[in-house]
């Protein structure tokens, strides 16, 4: 909104629980060419490794690059810009309910009710659904480690390493090298339940020992996250409020990737808002992609095929760029048929029929 220059005469109120001062997450995503946040891309890799017991390869992902943005860089970059604009007010505190009615909006803020009048309200507070049946959680722990020996290749990242044990469900690790001595190592699961906090540490330690062959290293930073992989149908416009980000259904149910979907949703909002077009007609995720996501999610939830086999088949039988395009919801129907036909027919057909029912 700031960059467009179309809102400099508007008043914008931005509320968050607390100031963004911590490097609380790193965002990874693939992108072709320079993106909106190119200036703050911390590292990018032109090639990625995929590893599993049945298929392992270094994937050429052109025209994409796998990019990483550190949370703290993103927050500093955005707030530096926000702070230059007197029309934007930033306040910190707890937001409760926000409800639209005929005379405007009522907002509960730090236990008091405020009338917002004729505002457009965007919400990124994600409230977990009451039932999680048929859904999974993507949960992960990462360590930024520094090794004594130079063991990492900063020219390539690893996307998924399924050689780890699968006893809890779909589980993989990945390594994002920053230099020959420094990398972010993550341990990720797609399961219904979280692990005990010490288990993530134990698995990371084991992975670093067994597969990176490292014993001498120090842990410099840590991150932990949980992303919903939900078959729930998200409503963008609800009680007069526009849900954005994860709260607005921008987390891809079958992969957990969110960052680029949020950027695309923001682009769409920017197309509609200045033109005066009602935002309530903002397009939803196309039905066929929700259908694919729910089909894959069904298979993972019911474990009718191991996730490692599905992803190994996808990357073995298709070009990585085609898989990325498909996972971005940007493929054509013909491309999708090619990808779907590369997967084991029966489990997918059965899961697809369940979705249709």
Ligand X SMILES: Cc1cc2nc3c(=O)[nH]c(=O)nc-3n(C[C@H](O)[C@H](O)[C@H](O)COP(=O)(O)OP(=O)(O)OC[C@H]3O[C@@H](n4cnc5c(N)ncnc54)[C@H](O)[C@@H]3O)c2cc1C
**Binding residue for ligand X (CB under 6 A) from 1, 2, 13, 25?**
25
Whichever of 160 and 343 has its CB closer to ligand X, that residue is: 160
Whichever of 143 and 348 has its CB closer to ligand X, that residue is: 143
Cα 197 to Cα 12, 160, 169, 223, distances in angstroms = 39, 22, 17, 12
- 8 Å CB contact between 259 and 30: no
CB of 231 to ligand X, least distance (A): 17
Q: Decide if residue 16 touches ligand X (CB under 6 A).
A: yes
Q: Decide if residue 190 touches ligand X (CB under 6 A).
A: no
Q: Decide if residue 257 touches ligand X (CB under 6 A).
A: yes
Q: Scanning residues 91 to 130, which ones bind ligand X (CB under 6 A)?
A: 94-95, 124-125
- 8 Å CB contact between 319 and 64: no
Q: Decide if residue 227 touches ligand X (CB under 6 A).
A: yes
Whichever of 138 and 318 has its CB closer to ligand X, that residue is: 138
Q: Decide if residue 143 touches ligand X (CB under 6 A).
A: no
Pairing of strands 95-101, 182-191: unpaired
Long-range CB pairs of 299-302, under 8 A, 24+ apart, other chains included: 299/347, 299/348, 299/351, 300/136, 300/169, 300/170, 300/190, 300/229, 300/254, 301/134, 301/135, 301/136, 301/192, 302/351
CB atoms near residue 28 (< 10 Å): 20
Q: Which residue has the tokens 């992975």?
A: 207
Separation of alpha carbons 320 and 283, rounded Å: 27
Cα 13 to Cα 105, 164, 240, 333, distances in angstroms = 13, 46, 17, 41
The site string for ligand X over 274-313 (x = CB under 6 A, - otherwise) reads ----------------------------------------
- Euclidean distance between the first and the last CA atom of the chain, given in angstroms as a whole number: 42
**Binding residue for ligand X (CB under 6 A) from 172, 187, 200, 259?**
259
CB of 356 to ligand X, least distance (A): 29
Q: Decide if residue 22 touches ligand X (CB under 6 A).
A: no
148: Cα within 13 Å, side-chain hemisphere: 5
CB of 53 to ligand X, least distance (A): 25
Judged by CB under 6 A, the stretch of 77-85, 189-197, 198-206, 223-231 that binds ligand X is: 223-231
Judged by CB under 6 A, the stretch of 52-60, 153-161, 204-212, 257-265 that binds ligand X is: 257-265
Structure-derived torsion over alpha carbons of residues 158, 159, 161, 167, reported in degrees to the nearest 10 = 150
CB of 224 to ligand X, least distance (A): 7
Closest CA to 226 of 256, 184, 261, 186: 256
Three-state DSSP state, 260: helix
**Binding residue for ligand X (CB under 6 A) from 57, 146, 223, 232?**
223
Q: Decide if residue 320 touches ligand X (CB under 6 A).
A: no
Judged by CB under 6 A, the stretch of 12-20, 52-60, 150-158, 328-336 that binds ligand X is: 12-20
**Binding residue for ligand X (CB under 6 A) from 245, 249, 306, 307?**
245
**Binding residue for ligand X (CB under 6 A) from 46, 100, 225, 338?**
225
Closest-by-Cβ residue to ligand X is 245
Pairing of strands 156-161, 112-117: unpaired
Pairing of strands 170-179, 182-191: antiparallel
How many of the chain's residues bind ligand X (CB under 6 A)?
22
Q: Decide if residue 27 touches ligand X (CB under 6 A).
A: yes
- 8 Å CB contact between 271 and 282: no
Q: Decide if residue 232 touches ligand X (CB under 6 A).
A: no
CB of 144 to ligand X, least distance (A): 13
- 8 Å CB contact between 220 and 191: no
Interface positions with ligand X (CB under 6 A): 15-17, 25-29, 94-95, 124-125, 223, 225, 227, 245-247, 257-259, 262
């Amino acid at each position: 909104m700031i960059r467009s220059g179309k809102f400099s005469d508007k008043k914008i109120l931005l509320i968050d629980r607390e100031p963004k001062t911590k490097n609380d997450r790193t965002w990874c995503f693939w992108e072709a060419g320079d993106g909106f946040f190119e200036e703050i891309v911390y590292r990018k890799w032109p090639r990625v490794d995929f590893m599993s017991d049945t298929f392992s390869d270094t994937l050429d992902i052109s025209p994409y690059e796998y990019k990483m943005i550190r949370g703290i860089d993103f927050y500093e970059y955005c707030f530096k810009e926000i702070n230059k604009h007197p029309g934007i007010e930033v306040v910190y505190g707890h937001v409760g309910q926000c409800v639209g009615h005929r005379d405007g909006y009522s907002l509960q803020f730090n236990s008091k009710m405020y009338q917002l009048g004729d505002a457009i309200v965007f919400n990124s507070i994600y409230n977990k659904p009451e039932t999680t049946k048929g859904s999974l959680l993507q949960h992960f722990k990462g360590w930024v480690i520094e090794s004594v020996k130079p063991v990492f290749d900063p020219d390539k990242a690893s996307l998924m390493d399924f050689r780890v044990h699968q006893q809890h469900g779909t589980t993989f690790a990945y390594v994002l090298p920053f230099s020959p001595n420094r990398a972010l190592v993550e341990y990720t699961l797609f399961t219904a339940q979280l692990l005990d906090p010490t288990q993530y540490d134990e698995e990371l330690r084991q992975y670093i020992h067994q597969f990176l062959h490292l014993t001498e290293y120090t842990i410099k930073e840590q991150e932990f996250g949980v992303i919903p992989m939900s078959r729930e149908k998200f409503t963008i416009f609800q009680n007069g409020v526009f849900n954005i980000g994860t709260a607005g259904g921008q987390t891809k149910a079958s992969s957990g990737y969110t960052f680029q979907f949020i950027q695309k949703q923001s682009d769409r909002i920017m197309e509609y808002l200045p033109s005066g077009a009602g935002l309530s007609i903002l397009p939803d995720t196309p039905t066929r992609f929700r259908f694919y996501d729910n089909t894959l999610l069904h298979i993972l939830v019911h474990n009718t095929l191991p996730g490692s086999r599905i992803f190994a088949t996808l990357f073995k039988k298709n070009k990585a760029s085609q898989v990325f395009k498909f996972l971005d919801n940007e493929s054509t129907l013909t491309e999708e048929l090619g990808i779907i036909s590369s997967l084991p027919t029966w489990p997918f057909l059965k899961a697809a029929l369940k979705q249709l029912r």
